[in-house]
Amino acid sequence: MQYPVVDPNRPTLTSPAPLYRPLYLSITSTARGLQNFISDLRNAKSKEDESKRVSKELANIRSKFTASGSLSSYQKKKYVWKLVYAFMLGYDVDFGHAEVVSLVGSAKYSEKQVGYVAMSLLLKAGDSMMNMIVNSIRNDLVGSYDDAATSLALTSIANVSGIELMQALHVEVQRVLVSPNATPAVRKKAALCLLRLIRQLPDSIASADFAPHISNLLQDRHMGVLTSTMSLLIGLTSKHEQEYETMIPYAIHILSTLVLKKSVSPDYLYYRTPSPWLQIKLLRFLQYYPELMASGQAYVATLKQCLARILNDTDVSDSINKSNADHAVLFEAISTIVVFGDSGDEDLQLAAMRLLGKFISVREPNIRYLGLMTMSRLAVLHNNTNKEQIKTFQSVVVHSLKDADISVRRRALDLLFVMCDQTNAESIVDELITYLVAADAGIREQMVLKIAVLAEKFATSKKWYVDTILKLISISGDQVSDSIWHRVIVIVTNNSDDDLQQYVATTMFDVCSSKNAHVKAVAVGSYVLGEFGFLIAEEAGKSGEVQFQVLHQHWPLIDANTQGIMLTAFAKMYNLYEEIRPIIDPIFAKLKTSVDVELQQRSNEYRILGSLGPEIMEDILREMPAFDTQKVSTLEIALDQEHSDTHDVNVFKKKDPNSPASKRGSKTAQQEPEPEILVQAEPEPEPDLLDGFDDPPPAPIGGFDDPPLSKQAVTVGDPAAVASSFAKLLSTPQGVLFQNEYVQVGVKQEFRGSQGRIQLFAGNMGAESFTNFKLDMPQVPYLRTTVQDEMGATGAGCTLAPKQQARVMIMAEAIAPYCEAPGLTVTFETSTTTHSYPLKLPIVPTSFTEPVTVDKAAFMGRWGQLAAKESQEIITVSRTVDPAMMQQVAALLTGLKYGRCQEVDSPTTCSGCGTMKTGAKDGQGNPISVGCLVRIEANGDKFRVTARTLHPVVSQGVKETFCKVLKAL
């Protein structure tokens, strides 16, 4: 846009006024009272003096606002500025909102500026005043030809970002963006405002229809508009990739103009680099299409030239600012090459690798950090040439482990982890263990986990793997998690064909012989000597009695969990070596009154085993069977959690498909599916963004003086339908909890251990808006809950437009045994009716249960012990029970998280076992769990449901849950 050249000698009155007046001029030149107020606060000698001065001023402003006389424009602005300043200092300002609305609707720019600033700070999303201010903002957007007013409105919408405000004005923001009459300054603000809106309301734009408008914006010659449009395009593409794939040619054309032709306005040359910010955004947009290089399109060759030019022409500059800008573009180009993966150009990958090899050797820590991080991403590509070339930098990467900056050390550790394979595993693991001795606490836990994974994945022998883990325990035992030494036990137990078990028994005997052995080593030694100590018992100095003494010397120094493992080892020794039974008997007798419930129970059970006869004791204390190897390694799960926890979820960064978490495909690394939209409504036609600029805003429905209407109360739904929906959700992860012609409430739930995450989706199914819409969830003593609610449905209430949906996230943790599901009351008002629907949330004891599989003897023994805590009920179903229905019952048992006990059941019975997890702790700090058994017996058209648990309240809750589910069959 060409601006006229103004003659400085022309009279002031005819000189063009600036588009924006600086904010500080508006304050300091027109509000002397504000200056005095600020000076008084700065000169206050104490916090109390400041509070008194603010309270006095707020009282004065309140009296001025409530006085019958009208205020002048100067007074309004001055008092509102004072409210804004007091709010910025941290004082509560709960009045003056009507004056803010008045200023926003003013025709004067000076008043409008003050009003919009105050609105952005004083008004919050969901405030009732927002509904009164919408029409004023809409008029400034589409009914005004003042660019300053339009820019103020766009900035305020983005800053407030309330759901109701966005839903009411997103169409107008789109109109401003695509309007041919909008200036570049307004278009830039409109693009960034729309980006803020789609982050809050991703489905507010019909992507297929809006893509042509984006293509027109990408042909704008103004660099500022292009930069803002690319920010918006990246945000849109992160949600709808396919709809914006047609923008690729435009992005590559702009990139080639900047990189190859260097054709750009001098205003956008940053230290002789053409608009580096725009180059970065263009490259990030292309990263959303990893198969781009394999498409065979004509523009692929241009893209290769651009990437090659960036790789070849970037060099270190004497100017720090230019060097930073150039290297930012360079690393983004390398990231683009990495995203293209194996379908990309191999020459570009090799060139990127050479550059990265140079960068990880420089002294500048920022460049070295980026080089290590990018090389680790490049290393995971399935390209043998890349991997072999990366190995040549192994010594440089190992040297980076000693860097003073811990972030550089972390990236060096990541790179060593991904470059490791069978050929260099031992050398890398040895280097890492050597460095582990001197590593600080901030990186030790991460190092220990990755060393353990590498040692298991690339072990040259099982003995080398065991020795490596024992080194980890001896060097950094406190950072060795339980999952690491558990893997040692699994591998040793499952390898009975070779001499590994005897080797490990000998090794652990030697380790535990030292009084300074770490508690983790004692835990491993207790298990190994209890299971495999008999393999070395015939050797000199390693008899059963000596093994017992080696372990028992650590008893006073270990925690209760390790004592439990050692107690089991003593029981196995008691069975194997008769000569040490007189030594072990007093230990069992002493612990039968232990304050630790677990030790007390174990000692009593092991003590009684001796009186049951040698055959029973032999059968119960036999060697542990091989562990299930089909499960995902717990070490890999822990590593995936580490990657997923640190993953950047910003809309500008797409998830790396080559990350370790993605390759393993574990549950923790997978993207959670989007929740199902439960309100099925006919899609509304998308408004034409180029039409209707002159349409007046809709008139409000009704007036303030209209008499109130008497409303009829509706307080119940269909009881049978409510019970059926509730029962179905007890065994399924998502579904509809309640639905009628007015409202639909859906639930999506996930439980792990004692914790659960429940999402509620409440949708307006009618043709008119709901007011005072609330989801009331009373607190219960047996659940610890945290609620996330953007619309205020669980607080003061909100307004729900037709076909609109309110979403609430509930994080729940069971902290005590219970039997009754928590309540949920849905209330709202329409024009003629007040609705109230009492419901139950499907959070029952079985929600926090984990399945347990036991054999017949264990089940029947436990069943008899829990007879005193039984809860039983006989129910009648709608038809005679047949084999097909029993299969449904078995499926329900699994759906309610109970393990099947196959040997126990006949064709007309179904038995299961589980453990209810709670977040409560016992005296030793261990989580409290409740063992649960259930048995379902069929006879004709009846079921007898029997639940026996360690807690009678849980027995009742489990029984009622199964009865509800069976009645719904």
- Cα–Cα distance between 33 and 72 in angstroms, integer? 14
Work out whether strand 712-714 and strand 833-840 pair parallel, antiparallel, or are unpaired: parallel
Integer CA distances (angstroms), 513 to 478, 522, 531, in order: 20, 10, 18
Q: Establish whether 79 is an annotated binding residue.
A: yes
Q: Establish whether 74 is an annotated binding residue.
A: yes
Map residue 786 onto helix, strand or coil: strand
Q: Express the helix, strand and coil content of the chain in percent, nearest 5 each.
A: 55, 10, 30
Map residue 871 onto helix, strand or coil: strand
Q: Establish whether 52 is an annotated binding residue.
A: no
- Token output for 506: 């000998």
Work out whether strand 870-876 and strand 942-949 pair parallel, antiparallel, or are unpaired: antiparallel
- Cα–Cα distance between 35 and 26 in angstroms, integer? 12
- Cα–Cα distance between 163 and 317 in angstroms, integer? 47
Termini Cα distance of the chain: 71
β strands within 170-282, DSSP E: 269-270, 273-274
Q: What is the CA radius of gyration of the chain?
A: 35
- Cα–Cα distance between 53 and 40 in angstroms, integer? 8
- Cα–Cα distance between 434 and 431 in angstroms, integer? 5
β strands within 803-926, DSSP E: 805-814, 823-829, 833-840, 849-851, 870-876, 899-900, 909-921
Could you give the count of Cα atoms lying within 13 Å of 879 in the half-sphere of its Cβ? Answer: 8
Q: Establish whether 654 is an annotated binding residue.
A: no
**β partners of residue 785:** 812
92 CB contacts (<8 Å, ≥6 apart)? Answer: none
Element (H, E) at 812: strand 805-814
Q: Establish whether 271 is an annotated binding residue.
A: no
565 CB contacts (<8 Å, ≥6 apart)? Answer: 523, 526, 527, 530
- Cα–Cα distance between 322 and 269 in angstroms, integer? 10
Residue showing tokens 């991460």 = 446
- Token output for 731: 């065994």
Q: Establish whether 574 is an annotated binding residue.
A: no
Dihedral (CA of 497, 500, 503, 509) sign:
negative
CB 942 within 8 A of CB 876: yes
* DSSP output for 735-764: EEEEE-SSEEEEEEEEEETTEEEEEEEEEE
Cα Dmax for the chain: 115
**Cα–chain center distance at 24:** 41
- Cα–Cα distance between 800 and 340 in angstroms, integer? 44
Q: Establish whether 138 is an annotated binding residue.
A: no
566 CB contacts (<8 Å, ≥6 apart)? Answer: 522, 526, 551, 552, 554, 555, 558
Query: What is the crossing angle of helices 384-391 and 406-419, to 10°?
Result: 130
Phi, psi (deg, nearest 5) at residue 780: -120, 150
Element (H, E) at 947: strand 942-949
Exposed/middle/buried for residue 275 (C-beta within 10 Å: 0-12, 13-18, 19+): buried
CB 51 within 8 A of CB 86: no
Instruction: Give the residue ranges of the annotated binding site.
Output: 32-33, 64, 74, 78-82
